[in-house]
């Protein structure tokens, strides 16, 4: 069941991978520049980091992030699990199944967590230099220059230079994902190497400056010499990872069984304050399992040692094995300040029958959250209403104040009813019966208004006698609890008159069909948001909706487009929050998914040899980033026979 720690096995959409894909493509336009005259009437800013609002938390002389233990010991191994399989190590290929975390190889101008943890984990808007020690830009943000660290080295010991950055920049345009390359051409007007360790990017006039510097600063940099030597391509599957400068490198792997990343003993950046107290494990091992049951049995036997639990059923009933009872395995409930993933049943808007909002609302009424939570999830979940649940972004009531003023500035694209309707909330259902009769009546009325009526056979049909058919696609790697939720929903849709069925496919087929938008309905997630940025266009915008995997619905809405565009033009945090509240309100108004429940905390279980700071940062649990290994505890577990 989706909680803050559960992800669809075929997506693994972390902040790191988003920066890797979005940021990479967002700077992949090497158009060249006519000379090096940088005249500008605006104040020139030089800084160790970047925040759009200019309010960096950490000063230039910071020693380390507040939430880390700068004296954390290095060593040991942490092993985690995933389901499904992999057939390559090139995260950026358009085909195949890359190994988990296989995008960690490339570092960028600004720091980002090698294993998906946001850096820093205590600020939504800050970015701090990694490959670059300084970023330089005019106050109007029409261009930026990165001054790179001369000591930076790729994993093979060769220097990381501005020439490599420009090469990677062009590589993503030529061989990267087409939807991002297309958007880049509209935003980045050029790039130029100024010297071996200095590169400049310039931005198109008349567009939002919101996230351009952040995006180019989030681009992974790969070795030009390595690509030329190996003949590798970014868009083709490979058993080689692109040559980067990450603190971790691949030590060993076996296709569909495991992959091991080891801390590079010669990593160039250990001395930097951005890395203090981080990258503490010598090895990070990912074990692959065919299904949910085998995966949990592997944890019980010690085949892997750390588990982020996403199953409410298992958290409530599964942790009664000997290693828990004798204290070898500990469970923790940890708080997180991030909104839960907007997980739910996703419509494919490329299917004409789902384009009617009345149909989507009618189908949503067939999901009984209250019964599902009590009967399948032990009452441990809460109903999610918002795409940024439990944050200041969550829209409530009718639009007021700054949000109302923002909407009014958009003109006629905002429906008049938008100002009088309260923000859409998930419907309520009878927890004592899976089929709520009241909601069924509402659903049938909506379907009748949309041109579908129930015939003598109990099936919804249109005026041509065609049944309303729905095929729900799910992965063979889906957990037992999630599968029970899906199949219950499918059965309830049938009870409401829909001709619904589920189809289980293997993880490779699931991923490919997801990318091809070859489905009616799936159980997956959209992206939550707490800040604005051009990434919102990829998540919810019309421009690349049909081809963007970040927009699983293929949502195309003039209202949403207008809100996103205006959000990018906001100049204060107050205005930004108001615009994002409007976006949350619009997505809920359009009923782009059927929301399911969420768990407000993070559940983790581990063999008792890992430690973490007492006060975790609000944006990440960070177990692969800033936790550490206790050697004495490990030896005690081995002596007790708890670990091999």
pLDDT digits (tens, 9 = 90+) for 408-463: 999 999 999 999 999 999 999 999 999 999 999 999 999 999 999 999 999 999 99
The domain boundary residue, chosen from 559, 578, 593 = 593
Residues 188 and 104 in one domain: yes
pLDDT of residue 13: 30
- The three-state secondary structure class of 40 is coil
Q: Within this chain, do residues 96 and 230 fall inside the same structural domain, yes or no?
A: yes
Q: What is the pTM of this model?
A: 0.84
Distance of CA 266 to the CA centre of its chain: 30
Cα–Cα distance measured from residue 397 to residue 424, given in angstroms and rounded to the nearest whole number: 9
Q: Quote the strand ranges of 564-634, DSSP E.
A: 593-595, 597-598, 601-607, 610-611, 628-629
Task: Look up tokens 């009616």; give the residue.
Answer: 520
Residues 303 and 325 reside in one and the same domain: yes
pLDDT of residue 16: 31
Instruction: Say if residue 120 is preceded by a cis peptide, omega within 30 of 0.
Output: yes
**Are 203 and 302 in a shared domain?**
no
State phi, psi for 152 to the nearest 5 degrees: -65, 135
Does 267 map to a domain? yes
Cα separation, 223 vs 216, whole angstroms: 17
- Residue of 70, 50, 474 whose CA lies nearest to 272: 70
Max Cα–Cα distance, the chain, nearest Å: 77
Burial of 644 (0-12, 13-18, 19+ CB in 10 A): exposed
* 81 part of a folded domain: no
Domain that holds residue 40: 15-73+88-239
Q: What is the pLDDT of residue 41?
A: 57
pLDDT score of 38: 47
pLDDT of residue 508: 84
CATH code: domain of residue 57: 3.40.190.10
Contacts of 34 (CB under 8 A, 6+ apart): none
- Give the chain's residues under pLDDT 50: 1-39
pLDDT score at 177: 74
Shared-domain flag, residues 50 and 190: yes
Nearest to 387 by CA among 344, 334, 327, 335: 344
Last residue of a domain, one of 204, 239, 274: 239
Structural domains in the chain (count): 3
- Please tell me whether residues 223 and 275 are part of one structural domain: no
State whether residue 355 is helix, strand or coil: coil
Cα gap 202→42, rounded to integer Å: 15
Residue 617 falls within a domain, yes or no?
yes
Token pair listed for 507:
């993880």
Q: Which of 314, 317, 312, 425 is nearest to 372 (CA)?
A: 312
In a domain, 206, yes or no: yes
Domain assignment present for residue 386? The answer is no
Q: Give pLDDT tens digits for 453-481.
A: 999 999 999 999 999 999 999 998 888 88
Compute how many other C-beta atoms are within 10 angstroms of the C-beta atom of residue 156.
Answer: 12
Q: What distance in Å separates the CA atoms of residue 510 and residue 638, rounded to the nearest whole number?
A: 39
Whether 220 and 264 share a structural domain: no
Q: Is residue 218 located within the same domain as residue 286?
A: no
Indicate whether 587 and 625 sit together in one domain.
no
My answer on whether 215 and 114 are in the same domain is yes
DSSP letter (8 states) at residue 74 = P
| Residue owning tokens 């190590």 | 89
How high is the pLDDT of residue 15? 33
Extract the runs of DSSP E, i.e. beta strands, from 348-497: 382-383, 453-454, 460-461, 469-475
Regarding whether 323 and 207 lie in a shared domain, the answer is no
Residue in the structure block whose two tokens are 């029970």: 484
Q: Are residues 145 and 222 in the same domain?
A: yes
Cα–Cα dist 420/582, whole Å: 13
With respect to residue 25, please indicate whether it lies within any of the assigned structural domains: yes
Structure tokens at 116: 């998906």
Residue 122 lies inside a defined structural domain of this protein: yes
* Nearest Cα residue to 171 out of 38, 25, 57: 25
Is 105 within the bounds of a domain?
A: yes
Q: What is the pLDDT of residue 451?
A: 97
Final residue before a domain boundary, out of 578, 593, 608: 593
């Amino acid at each position: 069941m989706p909680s803050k720690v559960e992800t669809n096995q075929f997506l693994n959409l972390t902040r790191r991978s988003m920066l890797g894909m979005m940021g990479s493509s967002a700077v992949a336009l090497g158009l060249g520049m006519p000379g090096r005259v940088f005249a500008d009437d605006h104040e020139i800013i030089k800084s160790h980091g970047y925040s759009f609002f200019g309010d960096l938390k950490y000063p230039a002389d910071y020693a380390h992030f507040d939430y880390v233990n700068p004296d954390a010991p290095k060593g040991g191994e942490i092993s985690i699990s995933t389901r499904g399989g992999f057939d390559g190590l090139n995260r950026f290929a358009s085909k195949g199944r890359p190994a988990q975390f296989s995008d960690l190889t490339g570092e960028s101008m600004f720091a980002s967590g090698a294993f998906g943890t946001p850096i820093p984990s205590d600020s939504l808007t800050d970015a701090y230099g990694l490959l670059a020690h300084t970023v330089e830009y005019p106050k109007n943000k029409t261009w930026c220059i990165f001054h790179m660290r001369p000591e930076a080295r790729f994993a093979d010991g060769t220097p990381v230079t501005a020439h490599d950055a420009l090469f990677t920049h062009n590589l993503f345009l030529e061989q990267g994902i087409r939807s991002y390359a297309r958007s880049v051409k509209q935003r980045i007007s050029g790039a130029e190497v100024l010297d071996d360790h200095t590169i400049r990017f310039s931005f198109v006039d008349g567009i939002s400056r919101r996230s351009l510097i952040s995006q180019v600063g989030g681009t992974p940099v790969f070795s030009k010499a390595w690509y030329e030597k190996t003949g590798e391509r970014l868009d083709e599957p490979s058993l080689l990872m692109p040559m980067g400068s990450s603190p971790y490198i691949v030590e060993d792997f076996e296709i569909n069984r495991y992959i091991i990343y080891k801390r590079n003993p010669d990593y160039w950046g250990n001395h930097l304050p951005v890395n203090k107290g981080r990258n503490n494990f010598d090895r990070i091992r990912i074990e692959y399992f065919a299904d949910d049951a085998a995966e949990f049995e592997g944890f019980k036997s010690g085949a892997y040692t750390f588990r982020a639990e996403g199953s409410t059923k298992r958290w409530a009933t599964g942790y009664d094995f000997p290693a828990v009872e004798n204290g070898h395995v500990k469970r923790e409930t940890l708080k997180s300040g991030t909104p839960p993933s907007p997980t739910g049943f996703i419509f494919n808007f490329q299917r004409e029958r789902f384009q009617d909002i009345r149909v989507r609302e009618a189908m949503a009424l067939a999901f009984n959250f209250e019964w599902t939570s009590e009967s399948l999830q032990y009452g441990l979940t809460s109903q999610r209403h918002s795409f940024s649940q439990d944050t200041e972004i969550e829209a409530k009531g009718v639009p007021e104040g700054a949000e109302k003023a923002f909407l009014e500035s958009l003109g006629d694209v905002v429906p008049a009813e938008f100002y009088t309707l309260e923000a859409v909330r998930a419907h309520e259902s009878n927890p004592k019966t899976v089929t709520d009769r009241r909601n069924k009546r509402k659903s049938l009325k909506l379907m009748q208004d949309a041109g579908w009526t129930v015939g003598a056979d109990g099936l919804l049909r249109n005026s041509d006698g065609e049944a309303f058919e729905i095929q729900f696609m799910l992965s063979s790697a889906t957990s037992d609890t999630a599968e029970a939720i899906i199949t219950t929903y499918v059965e309830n849709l049938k009870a409401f008159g829909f001709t619904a069925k589920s189809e289980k496919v293997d993880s490779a087929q699931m991923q490919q069909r997801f990318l091809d938008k070859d489905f009616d309905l799936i159980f997956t997630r959209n992206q939550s948001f707490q800040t604005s940025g051009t990434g919102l266009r990829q998540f919810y915008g019309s421009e690349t909706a049909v081809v963007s995997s970040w927009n699983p619905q293929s949502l195309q809405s003039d209202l949403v487009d207008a809100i996103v565009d205006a959000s990018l033009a906001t100049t204060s945090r107050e205005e930004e929050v108001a615009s994002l509240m409007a976006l949350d309100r619009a997505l809920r108004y359009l009923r782009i998914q059927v929301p399911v429940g969420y768990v407000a905390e993070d559940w983790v279980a581990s063999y008792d040899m890992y430690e973490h700071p007492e006060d975790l940062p609000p944006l990440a649990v960070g177990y692969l980033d800033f936790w550490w290994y206790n050697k004495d505890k490990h030896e005690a577990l081995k002596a007790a026979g708890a670990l091999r």
